[in-house]
Amino acid sequence: MTRRLISSGSRFEELAGYSRAVVDGGWVFVSGTTGFDYASGSISDDVEEQTEQAFRNIKDALEEAGASLADVLRVRVYLADAADFDRVAPILGRHFRDIRPANTTIICPLVDRRMKVEIEVTARRQDAAS
């Protein structure tokens, strides 16, 4: 199988020359995904709403790749403020409770001051996980 690139249409992808996701064989690599609503170009001020929107964006990319959250093996969470961890962790738990991927959470500045959380995942499609 050849490599397939998936785009959300975000202006950031064009600017920085990357794809929302890359499918390579059974592997799906989803780039760091923020709480921007790509359809409206808006982002909430609330970290919980940003986290939920990031998950919607990730789910859309995984679906286009023929995968789902159930296929996620690794998640990396980037938080702009450590104080937000207690608000973001329960959302991660709700989405990943039964999946239990490896997780790393990093506290760091993000490229846009409005961004409070960024999430990236690596998945392996079940049909390729032999």
- With a CB cutoff of 8 Å and minimum separation 6, the contacts of 111 are none
pTM (predicted TM-score): 0.93
At 38 the pLDDT is 85
At 128 the pLDDT is 67
Q: Which domains does the chain have, with CATH numbers?
A: 4-128 (3.30.1330.40)
At 74 the pLDDT is 98
Mean pLDDT in order along the chain per 10 residues (130 residues): 84 88 96 93 96 97 97 98 98 97 98 97 81
Q: Of 88, 8, 3, which is closest to residue 41 (Cα–Cα)?
A: 8
